[in-house]
Amino acid sequence: MTPRERILAAIEFKGPDRCPIHHYVFPGAIWRHGQRFLDLAEKYPDDFGNTNIKANTYPSLEEGQDTEDVIEWQDEWGTVWRRLRGYTSGEVLRPAIPDWDAWRTYRFPPHPPESHYEDFAAQVRQQHPEEFVMVGGGGFFQHMQHLRGPANYFTDLAEDNEGVHELADRLVEYNLYSIERYIKAGVDCITFGDDWGAQDRLLIHPDHWRRFFKHRYALMFEPARDAGVHVWFHSDGWILEIIEDLIEIGVTVLNPQHSCMGTQRVGEIVGGRVCIRTDIDRQWVIPYGTPEDVVNAVREAIAAFGVFNGGCILHGEIGPEVPFENIEALYSAFYEYGRYPLDWLIQ
């Protein structure tokens, strides 16, 4: 099977030859392990062209890295960020919309020209016809936190003020502009990512989530589902109470932090209904467990999500603190235990 065929078969429960694999690695992990890691990733490549590894290898090992431990920059939306060297995300230092007076004159950045959407998927298909084409659908919950600052934004939600509704509706409209054009261009999947959970609960009450967010997510998912394009949704933390809602409004690939909710428990809810991009426990098992612990976590995830003629995309995040032997155990286990038929489950 080509990578695209394998990924689609897994998402649609149509019998892939093995669980597709998706690597995600922080720059600091690449810097720590160097060429040894890059060689390992080539030995056990993923089905997405190792794109994240290639992106986070810059600055290259030969060129060296930034020397500052703390890096600050301003994004295209006007938010000023700060992060530690070696990571890909950080924290808001100065929000773009610090108060609602600033909102009155605030302008969203312009969309790319129409030619961008017209050329995007055609170019990928011509150059890499075996690749699964996925594009971002735009930020929403977390993006509003970034624009307002987290403390301001959660106060906005609690007060249910007019501004937070205006901001949300404008973002939905802004995102739909690109979503509809990417769908027309022929992509396979639209991706969304919002971290909705703390360690043991949702960040806001599930009823509030349903009142404010659910219908707005549904508006962004609807054009994709109507066109047969898959909807991929990532969320860290505890989201158990809204998994059913996400499936109901059109998510076909869900990437939850299932270990904090219980992998088997999540599997009982989603098994055979939505494809899971796994999140092998990156808080404890991958960085601090033994290689055997890592392998057992991979087996547990496949048993929970991948026994439905598909339904499982294998992924485990690699941070700077992860020892090399655990990365090797993770990647080799993906290949060893992810192949169909899963004979090891009945031995």
Model confidence over 200-253: pLDDT tens digits?
Answer: 999 999 999 999 999 999 999 999 999 999 999 999 999 999 999 999 999 999
| pLDDT over 60 (residue 62) | no
What is the pLDDT at residue 70?
87
How far CA 146 is from CA of 4, 91, 102, 139, in Å, comes to 34, 8, 14, 10
Positive or negative: CA dihedral 291, 297, 298, 303:
positive
List, for residues 20-58, the tens digit of each pLDDT value: 999 999 999 999 999 999 999 999 999 999 999 999 886
Q: Where residue 314 sits, what CATH number does that domain have?
A: 3.20.20.210
Q: How many domains does the chain have?
A: 1
| pLDDT over 80 (residue 67) | no
User: Containing domain of residue 218, as a range?
Assistant: 3-67+100-346
Span 55-75, average pLDDT:
71
For residue 106, being part of any structural domain is answered with: yes
For residue 86, being part of any structural domain is answered with: no
Give the separation between CA 220 and CA 207, rounded to whole angstroms.
20
Termini Cα distance of the chain: 26
For residue 286, being part of any structural domain is answered with: yes
List, for residues 304-344, the tens digit of each pLDDT value: 999 999 999 999 999 999 999 999 999 999 999 999 999 99
What is the pTM assigned to this prediction?
0.95
For residue 82, being part of any structural domain is answered with: no
What is the pLDDT at residue 84?
85
Give the separation between CA 17 and CA 48, rounded to whole angstroms.
16
For residue 84, being part of any structural domain is answered with: no
CB 72 within 8 A of CB 93: yes
| pLDDT over 70 (residue 127) | no
How far CA 230 is from CA of 8, 78, 306, in Å, comes to 9, 31, 18
What is the pLDDT at residue 89?
80
What is the pLDDT at residue 123?
77
For residue 85, being part of any structural domain is answered with: no
For residue 338, being part of any structural domain is answered with: yes
For residue 233, being part of any structural domain is answered with: yes
